Amino acid sequence: MLLEVESACFWVEQLPFGDGPGYEDWYLVEDWQGLGELNAAAVDARLKGGHDRAAGMAAEGWGGIYASVRGPAAIPAEATWKYKPREKSTAEFLAGIEEQAPVWQRQMVLGPAPEFCIGAGGPPRRSVVPLS
């Protein structure tokens, strides 16, 4: 992998927090230091040209940083994005989600991102767009 982290990019018919289709990118890092290293690598001399071309084609960008709070920290085959009702505690919300489903919780928001992402299935089955 060019960025040396597990990653995938998916074309989706409906963005989870936008109007219409677009891309959903996943990059798995171990911690905040790993996120900083990923950020630096994305624009280093080796990758800057590709990064700049992709950024130039992007209409709008949103994002969020999520931590795995249940299940394996792996890119899911499918994802459902959910907001937790304010009147529910996080424990109550998680108790209402299928026990085997991996759950990711937003740690930092970079746009209108929902608080939770619930994964399903094994490895990704969506159309994967190469990152190189």
Asked whether residue 126 is domain-assigned, the answer is no
Asked whether residue 111 is domain-assigned, the answer is yes
DSSP strands (E only) in the chain? 7-12, 22-27, 63-70, 78-82, 103-110, 116-120
> Domain of 26?
7-120
pLDDT above 70: percentage of residues in the chain: 85
129 pLDDT more than 50: no
Asked whether residue 94 is domain-assigned, the answer is yes
**Number of domains observed in the structure of the chain:** 1
Q: What is the pLDDT of residues 94-113, one digit of tens each?
A: 999 988 889 999 898 777 76
